[in-house]
């Protein structure tokens, strides 16, 4: 899966990651994977999130791993059908996952999303892995 716009790519030899998410129904999130400094990873992920929406909080912190962000969405009460247009759905949750591989991180994020709201559709909005070095 390609890295989503706004996700900071890892510098060589780095290992810290953080994911921040805004309070729903905002879709805002920030994700940094592979930063050399733990606090720097948190500051950048929070900055990315607050630039997109208010009320951001930490969802996950990890080291030497992959991270993923997933959204739980439901059809908007004003839409006949749900499409990729943000006006047709409402974000019900923003979830974080981590793992040794990108697939494992994505599976973790989807599992967290489904546990929060089994009736929502869950989708990965960003995922990336730290470089090993």
Question: Residue 9 has what pLDDT?
Answer: 55
Contacts of 60 by beta carbon, 8 Å cutoff, 6+ apart = 17, 18, 19, 67, 96, 97, 98
Contacts of 63 by beta carbon, 8 Å cutoff, 6+ apart = 15, 16, 17, 38, 130
Question: Residue 23 has what pLDDT?
Answer: 93
Contacts of 73 by beta carbon, 8 Å cutoff, 6+ apart = 82, 89, 90, 91, 92, 120, 121, 122, 123
Q: What does each of the 133 residues of the chain score in pLDDT, given as a tens digit?
A: 445 555 655 445 558 999 999 999 999 999 999 999 999 999 999 999 999 999 999 999 998 789 999 999 998 887 778 777 777 788 999 999 999 999 999 999 999 999 999 999 999 999 999 865 5
Question: Residue 76 has what pLDDT?
Answer: 82
Question: Residue 5 has what pLDDT?
Answer: 54
Question: Which letter does DSSP use for residue 8 in this model?
Answer: B
pTM of the predicted model as reported, rounded to 2 decimal places: 0.83
Question: Residue 112 has what pLDDT?
Answer: 97
Question: Residue 85 has what pLDDT?
Answer: 76
Residue 13: how many other CB atoms lie within 10 Å: 11
Strand 16-21 to strand 29-35: parallel, antiparallel, or no bridges (unpaired)?
Answer: antiparallel
Ordered by start, the domain boundaries in the chain are: 16-129
Question: Residue 2 has what pLDDT?
Answer: 46
Rounded (5°) CA angle 79-69-100: 150
Cα–Cα distance for residue pair 76/55, rounded to 1 Å: 22
Cα–Cα distance for residue pair 12/131, rounded to 1 Å: 6
Question: Residue 1 has what pLDDT?
Answer: 42
């Amino acid at each position: 899966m390609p890295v989503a716009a706004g996700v900071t790519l890892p510098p060589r030899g780095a290992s810290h990651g953080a994911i921040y998410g805004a309070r729903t129904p905002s879709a805002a999130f920030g994700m940094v994977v592979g930063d050399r400094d733990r606090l720097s990873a948190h500051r950048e992920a929070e900055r990315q999130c607050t630039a997109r929406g208010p009320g951001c909080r930490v969802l996950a912190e990890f080291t030497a791993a992959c991270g993923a962000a997933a959204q739980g969405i439901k059809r908007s009460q004003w839409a006949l059908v749900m499409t990729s247009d943000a006006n047709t759905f409402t974000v019900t949750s923003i979830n974080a996952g981590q793992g040794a591989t990108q697939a494992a991180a994505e599976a973790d994020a989807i599992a967290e999303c489904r546990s929060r709201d089994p009736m929502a559709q869950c989708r990965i909005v960003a995922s990336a892995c730290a470089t090993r070095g």
